Structure 1
Amino acid sequence: MKTSTIAQLKKELQFKSSDEVVQLCLRLARFKKENKELLTYLLFESDSEAGYIESVKQEVDELFCEINVNSYFYIKKSVRKILRTIKKYIRYSGNKETEVELLLYFCEKLKSLRPSINRNTTLKNLYDRQLVYIQKKLPMLHEDLQYDFGEHLDQLKG
């Protein structure tokens, strides 16, 4: 089976009734957890971006508390999983401000992690890559946000 393009899907969906579209969305949501999560974001959380950011931060806090700090191996695996989760939530939002804020929060939590990430090259490199990525995203934001997030970024670099 050949997958259709977004344009083809859009044209076809325009010919469907609203009931049929609802049924298609529900059927789509049954197949993957990510589809359900995206639909949840679009229906319930996209109206309040600040609330969405706070809920993601709470989840990140919980994930950082669950990290097994007995070995850097387990810390690396957990930190990568947390970063993947954050990137997924960023994709749902599609908002550059949300992206920068969540990545700054991740870096903040990672920097305060004990044992220190400075003792492990892989974790230090992951942290540095995120800071560089945030630095590249800053010019795309409003000037006031650039300043605020820039200050936060400088604190994390220092």
Structure 2
Amino acid sequence: MKASTIAQLKKELQHRSPDELLNLCLRLGRFKKENKELLTYLLFEAGNESGYIESVKEEVDEWFGEINTNSFFYIKKSVRKILRNIKKYIRYSGNKETEVELLLYFCQKLRNFRPSIQNNTALFNLYQRQLTFISKKLDALHEDLQYDFGQALEDLKEP
């Protein structure tokens, strides 16, 4: 079965009743965890973006606390998983400010992580790529936010 385009889906959804739409959303939520998470964000978190950011930061703190520090192999796997989850949460929000704030927080946590990421090339390169990515995203923000986030970014770039 070939998936329909967004335009086709939109056109078809406009012809459905509210009850049918409700049933479609609930059925969609049953199939994948990501669908449920997105629905949860849209229904409960979208109105309070700062609360959403704080809850994601708390999860990031928990994830960093659970990292197995026995070898850099486990650290790399865990850090990549944390970054993948953060990017998923950023996709749910779709807000550029949220994206920059969460990625800056991730970089701060990674920089302060012990054992130091300076001792591992792959982790250090991942950190540098995120800083470059953040600096590119800053241009799309309001001037005041650019300044605030730019200061935080410069602090992270210092050795």
Scaled to the shorter chain, the TM-score interval is: over 0.9
CA distance in 2, matches of 1:11, 1:143: 38
Q: CA deviation at 1:5?
A: 0.3
Question: Following TM superposition, by how much is the alpha carbon of 1:2 offset from its aligned partner in structure 2, in angstroms?
Answer: 1.3
Tell me the residue number matched to 2:82. Answer: 82
Compute the TM-score of the two structures, normalised by the length of structure 2.
Answer: 0.99
1:1-44 per-residue CA deviation (whole Å, 9 max, x = no partner) reads 11100000000001100000000000000000000000000000
Q: CA deviation at 1:70?
A: 1.0
Q: How far apart are 1:98 and its partner, in Å?
A: 0.1
Pairing of 1:4-153 with structure 2 (within 5 A): 4-153=4-153
Q: Residues of 2 paired with 1:77 and 1:46: CA distance?
A: 30
Task: Name stretches of at least 5 consecutive residues in structure 1 with no aligned partner.
Answer: none
Secondary structure at 2:47 match in 1: coil
Once the two structures are superposed, what CA deviation does each residue of 1:91-132 show, in whole Å capped at 9, x if it has no partner?
Answer: 000000000000000000000000000000000000000000
Shift >3 Å, 4+ stretches: none
3-state SS in 1 of match to 2:152: helix
In the alignment, the residues of structure 2 paired with residue 93 and residue 32 of structure 1 have an alpha-carbon distance, to the nearest angstrom, of: 18
**Cα RMSD (Å) of the superposition?**
0.3
The 1-side partners of 2:139 and 2:80 are apart by 26
Unaligned runs of 5+ in 2: none
Structure 2 CA distance, aligned partners of 1:100 and 1:78?
21
Paired letter, 1:118: Q
Compute the TM-score of the two structures, normalised by the length of structure 1. Answer: 1.00
Paired with 1:10 and 1:29, the residues of 2 have a C-alpha distance of 18
CA distance in 2 between counterparts of 1:112 and 1:139 reads 26
The one-letter code matched in structure 1 to 2:57 is K
